[in-house]
Structure 1
Amino acid sequence: MLRLHADYPSRQQPAGWLLLWQLMVLLTLASLAGCASLPANVQRTPSRAFSAPEETPLGRLSQQRQAQAGARSDSGFHLLGNVDTAFTSRLALVEGAQRSLDLQYYAIHADASTELLLQRIREAARRGVRVRILLDDFNTVGEDAQVLRLAFEPGVDIRLFNPLPGPRGSLIGRLLGSLHDVERIQKRMHNKLFLADNAWGITGGRNLGDAYFGSGEKSNFVDLDVLAAGRIVRDMSRSFDRYWNDELAYPVQTLLSQGDLDRLREQRQTSPPDDPSRPPLPARAIPASLPAASPDTVLPGVSPAAVAQERRPPLDLQRVPLVWAPSVLLVDKPDKVGPDEGEADTSETVIDGLLQLMEQARQEVLIISPYFVPGPQMMATFAKLRARGIPVRVLTNSLASNDAPAAHAGYARHRPDLLRLGVELHEMRADPGTAGSLSGSGRGSGRGRSGFGLGSGAGGSKSGSSRASLHSKAVIIDRRLAVIGSMNLDLRSQLQNSEVALVIRSRVLSQQAAELITTTFATGAYRVVLQDDGLRWQAPPGAAFPGTDQEPEASLRLRLLVRLIAPFAPDEML
């Protein structure tokens, strides 16, 4: 079963009963689907990260910051726990780059925040910066396919990893054309890297799009990244190069042309919605006419007014606090993704390394995982920890805040066993206020509270009406070791997707991350407990919301949907 939520409640992704109906149609039509194919003999010009980052302003700044701190460690870090610093730090890397920008993402969505970033990236390319963007191909459909227009700008190269052949008008159509290759297409590149001049970089849970920066119309993700400087960034660049030069990375021009993107946009303008009951797409995504794109525009149809709301000064890299600490990069090999030919070594994955670190805990393990579907190996690790009396505390999504009902079905069947082991489970609220208070949404809101809301938030935030959805991925061990990356604690991250994570040995940074988690326990999450007659969701002491004996804030229809999905949702496919 493919995870159709695609890590984002995209405009192309069906929800609820429509999702179930489309899955049934997909299976019914499988025998009628044609077998699309990928181009053969693709020419890929190899390229590597620049080897002398110290010759760039960003490289010299990193060295100056290290010298000023008198740090013995060669890598510095800053947690990006709110939407404002997450966005402005990326702006700072783009504007500071002089030689290279390397972006590796699971999803880049065509909306206002992305338009602003892409405009700045295009400007960087025009001043001579080499730009390489490696994007998993799963989400490059519909409006989001327009992101690929940047590949036709001078100085910008985009490659699509593990592509799905077929039309880009809808995800369902592409899946139908790939059913003969289902083992390959369900494996996705989930890595997330944003690198400038091989000197500064960002990794963590965020994709690029409004919902990740506090401006989502329906959902806002509570997420976590880390800004890095120094030697560790060179390790991140080596990982990027390995994926960029892999045979599964296809140059965009081998898969479609700029004319294809024009025709796709025209088709989506004139074709009726897939679901008559669904409201039409926002006017800023599909305008009434199709004028030529403005020279200042990358994504056609995105409102300049919406982009203007996202404009704010880049993060000051000379003053941002950095914690200098020992670190190591955990990253899966590219051959974890793609066809099974007996060559890929998946015995040592990011998740395997993470479980080994967890088993060394002596005091406490704190986990944030939006999709938490532990397999036998993870359950065995939790059992070992609990047998030694080590507290294991988990923050994950509630059913109402989860954008993947199938993933919640997998988690729910493990929930009683986890509680019997003594694992402490907390489920985040979907209430719109949670997105604002925990992700720092609402520029000028005056929110200065702790949790995922350090600082002010993104311009144009719609957190007042957008539900909260947890998307952070981190493990904190003994408040001295922080692991922050793209991985979920589930079998999909362990067996199917490629992932990347930073392991940072620092009591200061680990304590900062732990406070984000424990503050959420106290202000924005239910604690799940096991009682004789079933489960109960307890509200934190003094909370304005009550406890309940059923999945909180979830409709009866959604609860029934999860029960219906559960028998057909094996853990390793969620």
Structure 2
Amino acid sequence: MQYPCPTLPRRFSTAWSALAALIVAAVIVGCASLPANTGRVASQSFQSPGQTALGQLTAQRRVQAGARSDSAFSLLENVDNALAARLALVDAAQKTLDLQYYAIHADASTELILQHLRDAARRGVRVRLLLDDFNAVGKDAQVLRLAFEPNVQIRLFNPLPGSRSSLVVRIFTSLKDVDRIQKRMHNKLFIADNAMAISGGRNLGDAYFGGPGGSNFVDLDTLSAGRIVRDMSASFDRYWNDELSFPMEKLVTQQELDQMRSAPVASAPDASQQGKGTAPAVPVVATNTSAVMPDVTRAAVADAKPAGYDLRSVPLVWAPSILLVDKPGKIGPDDDEADAGDTVVDGLLALMNQARQDVLIVSPYFVPGAEMMKVFAQIRAKGVRIRVLTNSLASNDAPAAHAGYARYREALIALGVELYEMRADQEGTAAGIGSGIGSAGGSKSGVSHASLHSKAAIIDSRLAVIGSMNLDLRSQRQNSEVALLIRSAAVSRLAARQIETTLAQGAYRVAVENGSLVWRAPPGAAFKDTTSEPQATARQRLLMRLIAPFAPDEML
């Protein structure tokens, strides 16, 4: 007897179609390989920063301050200044702009930065953009169009041969090379004329500048000037000229970018380029940018003017400093891992182990592993106080990372480590976490969901380490990272004050009472104590339980 074939419901039919498409894509790219990375031309950072306006400004301010130290710093503690400072550096640059990032998202704030970069390139500034290849997919791949501007070069670090149609497809079609997927360039640097720079944990995109919708990543940056910037540029050059750095044109063409665009968006040519050839203008990468531009972005644009964010008067602290940076070999093939040497996280742990009084840690993804647990035990054995601010399950955008952290909560508390988990919303606190770390300043972004993204450590109230690293095995062993070590009581106090404001107003203290975990609200807070993961949904709790048994620490 012949039985009729059943008809699948539409949602299942769609799902199977999507799965089939993934399988076909995987087969197609299964034999794909990267092109030979030959013919690259090495280039270096601008070697005479003192000849530029930014270099001269730095020298003048050092004389005015009577400073002995050759480097200066200013914390960019809110989203207004974080965006405004970047725009100010681009607009002030005369020779070079070097940007190194893990992720750049195609949205309103990025379009604003790209437009300023395009204008800088058209007035003769050389722009080099080094981007980790993993997230340059789908809509976000459109930022690569900047490479078609004169005076702009883009290179992609540790590229994958898989599809760029979406991140899901990218991962699926690259599973044959899991080790390469895992090793990413996580560095973040924004350098102008080798004279002033911005570093920290912030990627580029609306979520990092207080844009509307989704999660608002609470972050921390540092504006630097002087000798330390030359160290940053040396690090940038090393990555830029590394064999894992591929010219963008070898990996994706303008025609491929056109095919990935959901809808063509016209962009008027810049008046300064009329009659100067046919180089395409950078198109708007966010549809109807003027309509979706967040209020915080508009405010930052105003602040970028000399009257609002003036590099001539921004507060600077002159202090001794060291750049902690991983070598590109850390991301290389397995047989090159020995070339990585001591890592940024190794150096940070060694500094913590020298603490005499207290260590204050901010790490959004906190998965210590056995080695770090030994270091924490050694620190606590000397009577040193350790406080850690990390994400709660509700505020964490990576449930797998939270599952890894959760394994160590009770053991950390048993050591005497004080654990704090940030609330997922910015409402219901005594004064809001807006006055704390990574606040939105005077702007109102309308974002109710916050996710901690700052990475910092304050040691004995005199050493501040601010960078791109998390305290997890991924940052320690797989991702490349960069961080500033600043020996300054003033910088340490300012950073610690912001962190402690968040601890006191927008975070739960995690404790073990009667054998069970409890989350204690700060005194006077509008939110209450709880005995379960605060604000987490049933779906989040279930997902964490499902992931936990199958997620080794080194993969989180």
TM-score under structure 2 length normalisation: 0.89
Q: 1:438 touches 1:451 (CA, 8 Å); kept in 2?
A: no
Deviation at 1:299, TM superposition (A): 3.0
For residues 22-41 of structure 1, the aligned pairs below 5 Å read: 34-41=30-37
* Alignment partner, residue 268 of structure 2: 294
2:115 aligned with 1:119, yes or no? yes
Deviation at 1:176, TM superposition (A): 2.7
For residues 84-483 of structure 1, the aligned pairs below 5 Å read: 84-265=80-261, 269=262, 290-295=264-269, 298-305=283-290, 306-307=292-293, 309=295, 310=297, 311-314=301-304, 315-342=309-336, 344-433=338-427, 440=434, 449=435, 451-453=437-439, 455-457=441-443, 461-463=445-447, 466-483=448-465
For residues 12-23 of structure 1, the aligned pairs below 5 Å read: none
Distance 1:212 1:437 in 2: 22
- Cα offsets for 1:463-506 (capped at 9, x unmatched): 2xx40000000000000000000000000000000000000000
2:505 aligned with 1:523, yes or no? yes
Q: 1:398 touches 1:428 (CA, 8 Å); kept in 2?
A: yes
Deviation at 1:437, TM superposition (A): 7.2
* Alignment partner, residue 556 of structure 1: 538
Q: Which SS does the other structure have where 2:116 is aligned?
A: helix
- 1:368 counterpart letter in structure 2: V
- 1:456 counterpart letter in structure 2: G
| Max Rg structure | 2
Q: 1:492 aligns with which of 474, 477, 483?
A: 474
Distance 1:249 1:258 in 2: 19
- Cα offsets for 1:249-275 (capped at 9, x unmatched): 11110011111100111xxx3xxxxxx
Q: 1:77 touches 1:226 (CA, 8 Å); kept in 2?
A: yes
- 1:295 counterpart letter in structure 2: P
Distance 2:150 2:294 in 1: 25
Distance 1:438 1:561 in 2: 29
* Alignment partner, residue 489 of structure 2: 507
Q: Percent identity?
A: 65
Deviation at 1:304, TM superposition (A): 3.1
Q: 2:436 touches 2:499 (CA, 8 Å); kept in 1?
A: no
Q: 1:205 touches 1:486 (CA, 8 Å); kept in 2?
A: yes
Q: Which moved more, 1:526-535 or 1:29-38?
A: 29-38
Q: Which SS does the other structure have where 2:178 is aligned?
A: helix
Q: Which SS does the other structure have where 1:392 is aligned?
A: strand
Mark the runs of 5 or more structure 1 residues left unpaired by the alignment: 1-21, 270-288, 441-448
- Cα offsets for 1:184-218 (capped at 9, x unmatched): 22100000000000000010000000010011411
Deviation at 1:435, TM superposition (A): 11
Distance 2:154 2:34 in 1: 17
* Alignment partner, residue 281 of structure 1: none
Deviation at 1:31, TM superposition (A): 8.6
- 1:183 counterpart letter in structure 2: D
Distance 2:452 2:344 in 1: 21
Q: Which SS does the other structure have where 1:344 is aligned?
A: helix
- 1:479 counterpart letter in structure 2: S
Q: 2:210 touches 2:440 (CA, 8 Å); kept in 1?
A: no
TM-score under structure 1 length normalisation: 0.87
- 2:338 counterpart letter in structure 1: A
- 1:181 counterpart letter in structure 2: D
- 1:231 counterpart letter in structure 2: R
Q: 2:45 touches 2:233 (CA, 8 Å); kept in 1?
A: yes
Mark the runs of 5 or more structure 2 residues left unpaired by the alignment: 1-17, 271-281
Distance 1:127 1:325 in 2: 34
Q: 2:58 touches 2:225 (CA, 8 Å); kept in 1?
A: yes
Q: 2:129 touches 2:155 (CA, 8 Å); kept in 1?
A: yes
Q: 1:113 touches 1:209 (CA, 8 Å); kept in 2?
A: yes
Q: Which SS does the other structure have where 1:67 is aligned?
A: helix
Q: 2:328 touches 2:340 (CA, 8 Å); kept in 1?
A: no
Q: 1:366 touches 1:476 (CA, 8 Å); kept in 2?
A: yes
Q: Which SS does the other structure have where 2:334 is aligned?
A: coil
Change (3 A) 1:42 1:175: farther
Q: Which SS does the other structure have where 1:345 is aligned?
A: helix
Deviation at 1:338, TM superposition (A): 2.8
Deviation at 1:32, TM superposition (A): 9.2
Q: Which SS does the other structure have where 1:150 is aligned?
A: helix
- 1:339 counterpart letter in structure 2: P
- 2:339 counterpart letter in structure 1: D
Deviation at 1:293, TM superposition (A): 3.4
Q: 2:528 aligns with which of 546, 564, 567?
A: 546
Change (3 A) 1:534 1:453: same
Distance 1:41 1:96 in 2: 34
Distance 1:547 1:312 in 2: 41
Change (3 A) 1:403 1:504: same
Q: 2:191 touches 2:229 (CA, 8 Å); kept in 1?
A: yes
Q: 2:107 touches 2:285 (CA, 8 Å); kept in 1?
A: no
* Alignment partner, residue 10 of structure 2: none
**Aligned-CA RMSD value:** 2.4
Q: 2:433 touches 2:506 (CA, 8 Å); kept in 1?
A: no
- 1:419 counterpart letter in structure 2: I
Q: 2:96 touches 2:193 (CA, 8 Å); kept in 1?
A: yes
Distance 2:119 2:167 in 1: 31
